[in-house]
Structure 1
């Protein structure tokens, strides 16, 4: 599988693996960083397990995990990934995204999503991207809505969280034919 490096003047996304994940240990400890995720990255061991699962998915061709490097701040900022890749149906999910609190609200995430969307629609030529978000996570829901994603439905109580809460998951999507307009409007500055 070709390992893409996605990069612009603000951010660089490279393959996240067991050789570089330790650059994220201090960020992973931040409180409430992935509160709405069923994952746990709160200790170095749990972060390593999280990365190992992502690497396993990469070798099974179902994920491409990225480590995020903020070029403006000249430091690592977090992680994101393409997941649940379905090459036959040309569909994948963008998610598992977390960036440290110091990077939130700085425009970093818009740059990340632009690079990822552009790669999926223009290089891979996939037909659809999905985002799955905890119904309670209004901040992330607003962020994907600002990207032009459409709420397609809510899966009721479909995911068991670490605290035994059963979350409902909002399913958002962007279609390939919607990308040119989104690129020209939402991402016109890029």
Structure 2
């Protein structure tokens, strides 16, 4: 891999800053609302001991970010790059969540655009795992132009496997 999956990305309003161990408490404050995880495959991540496993996986991925609103410095949520495949020249984006007070404000499309614009400088295909029952995220994927590639059972770091929909965006379709 001749590129970094953990570089600072930003637009006028938001920054994706590489996640650090010291970000745990501030990120947990965003994620401790059960509503955040209601449609996610692993619905109990609002519990501190479960979120600790999620956070540990984020740190070990080497591609996790905290999403920060530049004007306030407030942490809105998190996302990450993961599972780079050199042979396929592909990568995944996912494990994205936002605090409920940031829903419906058009933040996610801006964050995904930052991530996709950056990573398509280096890869040809980006994949996303979206929980089968996560309608809100599935709609978001379709609005981005991602193609539904069918159901797949996904093993999560330290959590049970869950059924997901695999989405794909090809570089030529993004540009």
TM-score bracket for the superposition, by shorter chain length: 0.7 to 0.9
TM-score for the superposition, normalised by structure 1: 0.79
Range moving further from structure 2, 165-174 or 76-85: 165-174
Q: Tell me, in whole angstroms, the C-alpha distance in 2 between the residues paired with 1:139 and 1:166.
A: 20
Structure number with the bigger relative contact order (C-alpha 8 A, sep ≥ 6) is 2
Measured after TM superposition, the shift of residue 43 of structure 1 is: 3.5
Q: Deviations over 1:77-131 (max 9, x none)?
A: 1110111121332111111000000111111111100000001102xx2010111
Superposition deviation, residue 74 in structure 1:
3.7
Partner residue of 1:137?
Answer: 134
Q: Is the 8 A contact 1:65 1:82 kept in 2?
A: yes
What TM-score do the two structures reach when normalised by structure 2? Answer: 0.85
Following superposition, the deviation at residue 31 of structure 1 comes to 1.7
Matches within 5 A, 1:1-190: 2=4, 3-35=6-38, 36-38=40-42, 40-58=44-62, 64-122=63-121, 125-155=122-152, 158-159=153-154, 167-180=162-175
Equivalent-residue separation in structure 2 for 1:128 and 1:116 (angstroms): 13
Q: After the TM superposition, which segments of 4 or more aligned residues of structure 1 sit over 6 Å from their partners?
A: none
Gaps of at least 5 residues in structure 2 are none
Q: Which has the larger radius of gyration?
A: 1
In the alignment of these two chains, the number of paired residues is: 169
**How far, CA to CA, are the matches of 2:124 and 2:44 in structure 1?**
31
Equivalent pair of 1:17/1:51 in contact (CA under 8 Å): no
Deviation of 1:151 (Å): 0.8
Structure 1's 94 and 166: CA in aligned 2 closer, same or farther, altered over 3 A? closer
Structure 1 unaligned segments of length 5 or more: list them: 59-63, 181-190
